[in-house]
Structure 1
Amino acid sequence: MIRFENVGLRYGVGPEVLTDLSFQIDPHSFQFLTGPSGAGKTTLLRLLFLSLRPTRGLISVFGRETSLIGKRELPGVRRRIGIVFQDFRLLDHLTTYQNVALPYRVIGMEESSYRADVIDLLKWVGLGERMHVLPPILSGGEKQRAAIARALITKPELLLADEPTGNVDPPLARRLLRLFIELNRLGTAVVIATHDLHLMDQVDARRLVLEDGRMEIFT
């Protein structure tokens, strides 16, 4: 699904923040991306989401080199990838339902074609009774689940999640983890960036460990 070959990234003329990354993410796989703060986890997620270009090396996504994907094609490729940001990035003037439906609204789809899917997904993540509430009224855990639902609504082949349990209590963290596991069981590849060792110990999954911009892989 995704292949990195000797990928490096630097900002401007500064030192590389990611160095010689070579790994692949297979369809239907589940992995944790971990490492100390400042190791480059969020930067790597941005490369996976195609919102950053590498300084050197080769990245292939869904069988295509990213350097050959034009700007007009990028949105279509990104729709195959869902991403959950650490700060949620919900729009406060839109309801929970409208936030989750936003990926469909952006591409001009008629509401009648996606309304049932949005409602079903909101019920699946436990927000069926909160779909008409604005984000400022939601709790931190509810915002997190709304952000996850928005990432899932287009049925992505790959889901990227940046510290998805970092702002919730342990019981909710376990509930969110079960959500990701179920999603993976249904066929979506999952990459969870986290520093929570207890969370990772609950799943037998590959670990991509970043430190000082370099990666080790533990299976």
Structure 2
Amino acid sequence: MIKFENVGLRYGMGPEVLRDLTFEIAPSSFQFLTGPSGAGKTSLIRLLFMSLKPTRGLISVFGRDTARVGRSDLPSLRRRIGVVFQDFRLLDHLTTYENVALPLRVLGKSEAGYRADVVDLLQWVGLGERMHVLPPVLSGGEKQRAAIARALITKPEILLADEPTGNVDPPLARRLLRLFIELNRLGTSVLIATHDLALMDQVDARRIVLADGRIEIYE
């Protein structure tokens, strides 16, 4: 589904922040992306989501070379990838329900067609009783689950999560992990960027370990 071959990335004229990355995300796979702060995990997530283009090397997404994808084709490719950002990116003037439904509204879907799906998904992530409140009222863990629901509402083939348990306590982190595992069982490929070793030890999954912008371990 996604393949990196000798990928490098630099910002402007600075040094490379990612170097010689070669790995792939297979259909229905579950992987962790880890490494110390500053190793390049967030930059790698941005490459995967095609909000950045590599300085060198090849990134293939669903069989397309991202360097050759035109701006008009990007939205259709990105809709196949769900992203949970570290800072949630919820809109404070919209309710939980409206935040989760937003990607479908942008696609021009009618509420009559998506309302049941949004409600079901909010109940699945444990926010059925919180769908009509605004984000400032939500706890950190509730905001995280709302962000996850929004990433899933378009039924992506791949889910990318950047430190999804970084702002929650261990019990909630385990609950979120179970959501990702269940999603993977339903066929979605999952890649979680995290530095939480205890979390990773709970799943028998491949690990991509970044250090100084390189893949140090891929097992």
Q: For the superposition of Structure 1 and Structure 2, which TM-score range results when normalised by the shorter chain?
A: over 0.9
The Cα offsets for residues 165-197 of structure 1, whole Å up to 9 and x where unpaired, read as 000000000000000000000000000000000
Moved over 2 A (4+): 216-219
The Cα offsets for residues 94-117 of structure 1, whole Å up to 9 and x where unpaired, read as 000000001011121111111110
Question: Which residue does 1:107 correspond to in 2?
Answer: 107
Question: Which residue does 1:155 correspond to in 2?
Answer: 155
For this pair of structures, how many residues does the alignment match? 219
Find out whether 1:94 has 2:103 as its counterpart: no
Question: Which residue does 2:120 correspond to in 1?
Answer: 120
Aligned equivalents of 2:6, 2:141: Cα separation in 1: 38
Identity of counterpart residues, as a percentage? 82
Residue 88 of structure 1 and its aligned partner are, at CA, apart by 0.3
Residue 216 of structure 1 and its aligned partner are, at CA, apart by 3.0
Question: Which residue does 1:33 correspond to in 2?
Answer: 33
**Retained in 2: the 8 A contact 1:206–1:217?**
no
Aligned equivalents of 1:216, 1:11: Cα separation in 2: 22
Unaligned runs of 5+ in 2: none
Residue 69 of structure 1 and its aligned partner are, at CA, apart by 1.1
The Cα offsets for residues 82-131 of structure 1, whole Å up to 9 and x where unpaired, read as 00000100000000000000101112111111111000000000000100
**Where in structure 2 are the equivalents of 1:192-211 lying within 5 Å?**
192-211=192-211
Aligned equivalents of 1:155, 1:105: Cα separation in 2: 14
Aligned-partner residue type, residue 194 of structure 1: T
Aligned-partner residue type, residue 164 of structure 1: P
Question: Which residue does 2:56 correspond to in 1?
Answer: 56
TM-score in terms of structure 1 length: 0.99
Question: Which residue does 2:19 correspond to in 1?
Answer: 19
Question: Which residue does 1:69 correspond to in 2?
Answer: 69
Aligned equivalents of 1:37, 1:25: Cα separation in 2: 23
Equivalent residue of 1:71, what SS? coil
Aligned-partner residue type, residue 38 of structure 2: G
Question: Which residue does 2:187 correspond to in 1?
Answer: 187
Aligned equivalents of 2:111, 2:77: Cα separation in 1: 22
Question: Which residue does 2:78 correspond to in 1?
Answer: 78
TM-score in terms of structure 2 length: 0.99
> What root-mean-square deviation, in Å, do the aligned CA atoms of Structure 1 and Structure 2 show?
0.6
Aligned equivalents of 1:218, 1:201: Cα separation in 2: 16
Question: Which residue does 1:146 correspond to in 2?
Answer: 146
Equivalent residue of 2:129, what SS? coil
Aligned-partner residue type, residue 174 of structure 1: R
